[in-house]
Structures are given as structure tokens and as C-alpha cells.
Amino acid sequence: MKLGIIGLPNVGKSTLFNSLTKAGAESANYPFCTIDPNIGIVSVPDERLKLLGDMYHSKKVTPATIEFVDIAGLVKGASKGEGLGNQFLSNIREVDAIVHVVRCFEDSNIVHVDGSVDPMRDIETINLELIFSDLEILERRIAKTAKAAKMDKTLAAELALLEKLKAHLEDGRLAGSYVPENEDEETLLASYHLLTAKPVIFAANVGEDDLADDGASNEGVAKVREFAASNGSEVFVICAQIEQEIAELDEEETAMFLEDLGLKESGLQKLIRASYRLLGLMSFLTAGEDETRAWTIRIGTKAPQAAGKIHTDFERGFIKAEVVNYKDLLEQGSLAAAREKGLVGMEGKDYVVQDGDVILFRFNV
């Protein structure tokens, strides 16, 4: 999974990126200190892996990972060349979802590019810049397709879609709210990698005082939540400064620190849950002496396609999947014991993989 982090300058974007990835991206109290995209890869915390790894005495335990891409802070007019322009937006066209960091805290020591804190104004500014960036992509595509359509009549439907999308965006609406008329339109729309078509997770960045009640008493957070709910987006409340402190602690210290703050989980854990939920993802597991590993798939994936995540040969030559729930496996202490209790199923091509399934694939190529 790949997530792109965006936001205005000085909203806590690079501070959040640093804390999530411990990658040490430059963050400072002035716009555009992040110019080149910063990329960090984070392991997805999963206690099931450790328990299974211990049971199998695995030589290696490999968690699922998330790749974060942090780009320079956007400003009003970026699409027309203001600030650093919008050329760096191409760095997040391939991401699965966008994490939009919104400032919901007051701090006179940290300047706001527009002079005051207003989360909804900031969201609108960013959305307009994303719309302008997408319009640029569509206009180039229209010019190219219109020329080719003169020789190839099959391109007429694509040209019609491009024109409809352009009108949709010019109306101030995001591509994500466009409803494709058929499967062909759906496939084409996905191929354009439009930024405004991507799922969005809002990171409402608050001060430490607003963390304990998850931003319930913060007016800005309430507005962000309302906006997200009407747009099918996710929201999580975070204090980027606190997350940066957590990033410097070990596991035991983190647990104590969170408890002192009255928190059940870190911002990273909140973000992972939000992104899995938004993208409809889950993990199945493979376990053995050599390696215990988590594999991320879409909810509803069938056994052969899950096998293909490990290796294309597994999908091509799929025969059966030996499946046991990780809790049953841990309780019984071994796959053989779980088999004896009838807790292991031999599943075929139509089996829909469940979160927490431990699977042994049988295949023949």
C-alpha cells in the first residue's frame, strides 16, 4: 500500500511524516522546506505475526508494509506556478490513497500561510489545486485523443468521457464524485490516475490538549469530520508533535507514554486502521520455520488470487488452500493438532479469504 501525504505548508505534514517513518525529513517553520518528495516505508504492526513466529521459531518475521510519499506543501496558485508550482504532484499520482493533513491547532509561533487557522478554507485550497492539476492532465489527454479519434472511431467513447470529466471538474467537483456509466468508463477513469479520484484520509492535526477526547471539543475537527462524512472519506485525529516524541521511544516506553496521555493507540495505528478500512484491505498470513509473513489483499479476494500475491506460479497452478484461523492455530499449538480437531479446511478456487487466515497453498506448475 502506498499513501501520499499532502497539505499546506506548516500544517505539520513533514512532522507527521517524520514521526510515522522516522525518516528524518526536513521540517521547519517556513514554507517549502520539503522540496523533493520524501519516501519512507513503515511496517504494519501486527501482534499475530509475533505470536505465530514464536510458535514456529521462524527465522524471519515479515510484516506488511506501507510506503509514504511526502511532497512539498501546496499553496493557492500552485497549479499556475505559485510557490513551487504543481510539478511535484506527479509524485503522488500512483498512490492508493491521499493523507491530507489539516491544521486544527492554534500556535502563534508557527505561521500559517494564509494568516489564520481555518481547516475548511485549507481543504478547499488544496482541493482546487488538485482539480487544476487534474484538468491539466485531462486537457492534454483530450487534445491527443481528439486527434487520434479522427482516424479511429473506437476512441469516440473515451473522448466523450474525457469531456464529461473535464466539465465535472470545471464545476468544482472532484473526480471521485463522478459516477461512471459503465465498466469501460470505470476502467478508463482508473487509468488516468486523477488525484481528485483517489480516496482521502484527513489527518486532523490538533494540539496536545485536544488529543484525550479525540478532538471532540475542537470546532475545526468537527467541520473536517462533517466534510469527510459527506465525501466518503476517513478522518483520524493526531498531534504530530506528540507522534514525533513517540517515534523516539521503544515499544514499552510508547505504551507507557500513550497510557499517561489517556490514549489507546498511536497516530500510526489510527492511520493504518483508517487506510485499511477506506481501501477495503485485510491481511492473510503464511507461517513456517523459514518465515512468518503478512500479505495485504482486498476484502473479497478468492484463494487463487491471494496465492498470486506470493507468486504468480501459485495462482497459475492453484490446486487447494489449507486454511486455519490464526487463533485456532495458536490455541492448538501446531497445524497437526488443529487438523486433528477438524479446524483446518481444504478450500478450493471459490474460497473467499478471511482476515487472519493462515494459509498453506497447494499448487502444481
Determine contact, residues 58/52, Cβ cutoff 8 Å. yes
Q: How far apart are CA 32 and CA 74, in angstroms?
A: 8
Inform me whether the pLDDT recorded for 338 exceeds 90: yes
Q: How far apart are CA 281 and CA 277, in angstroms?
A: 6
| Most confident residue range from 17-26, 73-82, 211-220 | 211-220
The stretch 35-40 carries a mean pLDDT of 66
- Please report the pLDDT score of residue 112 as a whole number: 65
Instruction: Using the structure block, give the residue that is written with the C-alpha cell 487438523.
Output: 339
Inform me whether the pLDDT recorded for 29 exceeds 60: no
Inform me whether the pLDDT recorded for 302 exceeds 70: yes
Determine contact, residues 53/283, Cβ cutoff 8 Å. no
Residue of higher predicted confidence among 329 and 66: 329
Nearest CA among 66, 61, 86 for reference residue 23? 66
Nearest CA among 227, 21, 196, 13 for reference residue 103? 13
Binning pLDDT at 50, 70 and 90, where does residue 73 land?
Answer: low
- Please report the pLDDT score of residue 86 as a whole number: 52
pLDDT in tens, 200-247: 999 999 998 888 888 899 999 999 999 999 999 999 999 988 888 888
Determine contact, residues 283/294, Cβ cutoff 8 Å. yes
pLDDT in tens, 304-324: 999 999 999 999 999 999 999
Pairing label, strands 291-298, 60-62 = parallel
Determine contact, residues 284/355, Cβ cutoff 8 Å. yes
- Please report the pLDDT score of residue 113 as a whole number: 64
Q: How far apart are CA 326 and CA 265, in angstroms?
A: 23
Q: Is 343 exposed, middle or buried (0-12, 13-18, 19+ CB in 10 A)?
A: middle
- Please report the pLDDT score of residue 226 as a whole number: 96
H-only helix segments in 192-302: 219-230, 240-247, 251-261, 267-279
Count CA within 13 A, CB hemisphere, residue 178: 27
Pairing label, strands 234-238, 200-205 = parallel
Residue of higher predicted confidence among 290 and 75: 290
Determine contact, residues 274/201, Cβ cutoff 8 Å. yes
pLDDT in tens, 244-273: 888 888 888 888 988 888 888 888 888 888
Binning pLDDT at 50, 70 and 90, where does residue 278 land?
Answer: very high
- Comparing 21-30, 88-97, 135-144, 159-168, the range with the smallest average pLDDT is 21-30
Count CA within 13 A, CB hemisphere, residue 183: 0
Q: How far is CA 299 from its chain centroid?
A: 15
Residue of higher predicted confidence among 221 and 88: 221
Amino acid type, 140: R
- Largest Cα–Cα distance in the chain? 69
- Please report the pLDDT score of residue 60 as a whole number: 93
The stretch 330-345 carries a mean pLDDT of 95
Q: Across the strands, what pairs with 43?
A: 65
- Please report the pLDDT score of residue 165 as a whole number: 96
Instruction: Using the structure block, give the residue that is written with the C-alpha cell 464524485.
Output: 177
Q: Treating both helix axes as pointing N-terminal to C-terminal, what angle do 219-230 and 119-149 enclose, rounded to 10 degrees?
A: 30
Binning pLDDT at 50, 70 and 90, where does residue 36 land?
Answer: low
Q: Is 283 exposed, middle or buried (0-12, 13-18, 19+ CB in 10 A)?
A: buried
pTM: 0.84
The stretch 83-88 carries a mean pLDDT of 49
- φ/ψ region of 237 (left if φ > 0, alpha if ψ in -120 to 50, else beta) reads beta
Residue 268 corresponds to which cell in the numbers above? Answer: 500510526
Instruction: Using the structure block, give the residue that is written with the C-alpha cell 490514549.
Output: 263
Q: How far is CA 200 from CA 119, 152, 242, 261, in A?
A: 15, 36, 23, 28
pLDDT in tens, 96-148: 999 999 999 877 766 566 667 899 999 999 999 899 989 999 999 999 999 99
Residue of higher predicted confidence among 269 and 29: 269
Count CA within 13 A, CB hemisphere, residue 244: 17
pLDDT in tens, 287-301: 999 999 999 999 999
Q: How far is CA 240 from CA 85, 149, 344, in A?
A: 26, 50, 44
